[in-house]
Amino acid sequence: MKRSNLNIGIIGIGNIGLQVLKQLTLNSQLNKLFSVESVLVRDKQKYTKIISEDNEFKNEIDNVLEKITDNEDDFFSNNNIDILIELIGGIDPAYRYVKRALESKKHVVTANKDLIATHIEELLQLSKDNSVKLRFEGSVGAGIPIIEVLSDMLKQNQIKKITGIINGTSNYILSSMFENSSDFEDVLKEAQDLGFAESDPTNDVEGFDAKFKINILGSIAFGTRIPLETVYVKGISGVSNKDMNYAKEFGYNIKLLAITEKSSEGIYSNISPALVSLSQPISKVGGNYNAVEILGDLVGNLWIQGEGAGKNSTSSAVLGDLMGIYYRSSDDVNLSGNKENYLSKEEVMIRNYIRLSVEDKYGVLSEISGIFSKNEISIASVIQKDIDNDQDVVDLVIMTHDSKGVNFDIAIDSVSKISSVKEKPVVIRIND
Ligand SMILES: NC(=O)c1ccc[n+]([C@@H]2O[C@H](COP(=O)([O-])OP(=O)(O)OC[C@H]3O[C@@H](n4cnc5c(N)ncnc54)[C@H](OP(=O)(O)O)[C@@H]3O)[C@@H](O)[C@H]2O)c1
């Protein structure tokens, strides 16, 4: 039986929204399934000009222009709309719009990680209460079908762990530091000039963007809403060229890893730079690419990689979500609301790389190793590197075995107080 077309309302036609509008208007396959009913913008004049001057719309200009409105009430009272596509980003007013659409029994597709990570439980419940779908594949890894894969795996697997590179800007910066031995600040500037980093890069380089994304993945994987405040976050702004070079020398790369894992003790989610062995596939994910590794109890490790941003990749996810709604796919995300224990960095076992600048004199190493030993941290290797200076200061690079996070904090605090330790210790976790 042929299904009737579904009518679409779009809010926001920026980078992603404009590409989605083009595909829905100009792609003859999509035209058979969907019709754009209305497009809500803030400034009608601005978007009338943008559409009119866009050559790709040339045969459809009048058709598209008559759909554009800046009247919120007209848009929401349009009962012909079956699916709302929200592509404005941020929490307000996106939250209000998405809620209003679900409450009036419209399906919703969004690529908004901030909104989903913050309100996933409530919005999923609202979609169920109103018998409509809420889809958000584009919110993590753009066009990489990670949410679809996770939902599919969950039918027969228990997910143990997800490890991802899910912030393209940080990955671009770290990849460039690894390949060209450049400093963080220089690469950041280059990334901004090339349009790979925003003028205010805080969300990307300090790990906040990745925090929202791993929170969404962890919540889906473990079927429970992971509180955002339980995700430990450390960004890449403290990663130096010197540490990248040492990592390389010892057979590692440094990547910003997003990890969420569930053990018998609880769920631990974290974003932090990590040394990754060059023999691990994730160490080779370069440029602004994203990659996610999912460990399931039956399937083992699954690996998925692709462009984690951009209008084509993200619109692919949005259009895929529309298809899922059209074909009534039943891969819905379910959160059980189970009470879980959430672990902090202090409670989990970690292996660390530690770099210390110390005076090159008798007894310093034994004092440091004494502190580690007292805190039950066992050292895997210590390498002394002479540095070119006239102050008799050397770098000590220590790789440890697994130890409890809290023990590291105590040990590093004590080590940093030794008078022969000349700079704040650098600590980067090692991902095995
Ligand atoms: N860009 C990517 O590669 C990417 C990847 C994955 C996910 N996403 C997500 O996709 C969403 C859209 O991203 P984007 O890159 O397209 O952002 P963008 O280029 O900044 O576009 C946002 C658009 O929303 C419009 N807008 C803002 N508030 C509005 C409102 N109240 N009513 C109507 N329109 C409003 C803006 O219009 P004005 O001209 O009025 O400001 C602008 O056209 C975000 O949630 C983002 O996180 C983006």
| Probe target for ligand 1 pocket from 10, 23, 42, 73, with the most ligand atoms within 8 Å of CB | 42
Residue 61 shares a structural domain with residue 175: no
What CATH number is associated with residue 372? 3.30.70.260
| Probe target for ligand 1 pocket from 10, 13, 16, with the most ligand atoms within 8 Å of CB | 16
Mean pLDDT, 10 residues at a time, over the chain (432 residues)? 84 97 96 96 97 95 97 96 97 98 97 96 96 97 94 93 97 96 96 88 97 97 95 97 96 98 97 97 94 96 93 96 90 82 97 96 94 97 81 93 97 97 96 90
Question: Residue whose CA is closest, atom 18 of ligand 1?
Answer: 14
Question: Residue whose CA is closest, atom 29 of ligand 1?
Answer: 88
Q: Tell me the CA–centroid distance for residue 45 and ligand 1, in Å.
A: 17
Q: Which atom of ligand 1 is nearest to the CA of 41?
A: 33
Q: Which atom of ligand 1 is nearest to the CA of 72?
A: 32
Residue 359 shares a structural domain with residue 229: no
Q: Tell me the CA–centroid distance for residue 87 and ligand 1, in Å.
A: 5
Inside any domain, residue 336 = no
| Probe target for ligand 1 pocket from 11, 15, 290, with the most ligand atoms within 8 Å of CB | 15
What kind and span of H or E run contains 113? helix 113-129
Inside any domain, residue 273 = yes
Residue 288 has a pLDDT of: 86
Q: Tell me the CA–centroid distance for residue 289 and ligand 1, in Å.
A: 21
Residue 182 shares a structural domain with residue 237: yes
CB atoms within 10 A of CB 322: 23
Residues with CB under 6 A from ligand 1: 11-17, 40-43, 46, 87-89, 93, 111-113, 138, 142, 309-310, 314
Inside any domain, residue 407 = yes
Residue 129 shares a structural domain with residue 175: no
Question: Residue whose CA is closest, atom 38 of ligand 1?
Answer: 42
Residue 131 shares a structural domain with residue 160: no
Inside any domain, residue 253 = yes
Catalytic residues: 213
Residue 1 has a pLDDT of: 53
Q: Tell me the CA–centroid distance for residue 318 and ligand 1, in Å.
A: 13
| Non-local CB neighbours of 352 within 8 Å, separated by 6+ positions | 399, 400, 403, 408, 427, 428, 429, 430
| Probe target for ligand 1 pocket from 71, 87, 171, with the most ligand atoms within 8 Å of CB | 87
Residue 2 has a pLDDT of: 59
The residue from 135, 156, 172 where one domain ends is: 135
DSSP annotation of 425: P
Residue 58 has a pLDDT of: 92
Q: Which atom of ligand 1 is nearest to the CA of 142?
A: 6
State in Å, rounded, how far the first CA of the chain is from the last one.
52
Strand partners, 228: none
| Non-local CB neighbours of 346 within 8 Å, separated by 6+ positions | 404, 405, 406, 409
Inside any domain, residue 327 = no
The residue from 87, 104, 135 where one domain ends is: 135
Q: Tell me the CA–centroid distance for residue 86 and ligand 1, in Å.
A: 9
Inside any domain, residue 328 = no
* Pair type for strands 159-165 and 252-262: antiparallel
What CATH number is associated with residue 72? 3.40.50.720
Residue 27 shares a structural domain with residue 90: yes
Residue 195 has a pLDDT of: 81
Q: Tell me the CA–centroid distance for residue 427 and ligand 1, in Å.
A: 37
Residue 128 shares a structural domain with residue 196: no
Residue 227 shares a structural domain with residue 119: no
Inside any domain, residue 211 = yes
Residue 154 shares a structural domain with residue 190: yes
Residue 155 shares a structural domain with residue 291: yes
> Is-contact 142 313, C-beta < 8 A?
yes
Which residue range(s) make up the domain with 359? 349-431
Q: Which atom of ligand 1 is nearest to the CA of 311?
A: 3
Q: Tell me the CA–centroid distance for residue 282 and ligand 1, in Å.
A: 30
Residue 392 has a pLDDT of: 87
Residue 34 CA from chain centroid, whole number: 30
User: What letters, b where the CB count within 10 A reaches 16 and e where it falls short, cover 22-41?
Assistant: bbbbeeeebeebbbbbbbbb
Inside any domain, residue 173 = yes
CA distance readout (Å), 163 to 34, 67, 352: 36, 42, 17
Residue 202 shares a structural domain with residue 287: yes
The residue from 287, 308, 329 where one domain ends is: 308
Residue 151 shares a structural domain with residue 126: no
Q: Which atom of ligand 1 is nearest to the CA of 40?
A: 33
Number of domains in the chain: 3
What CATH number is associated with residue 205? 3.30.360.10
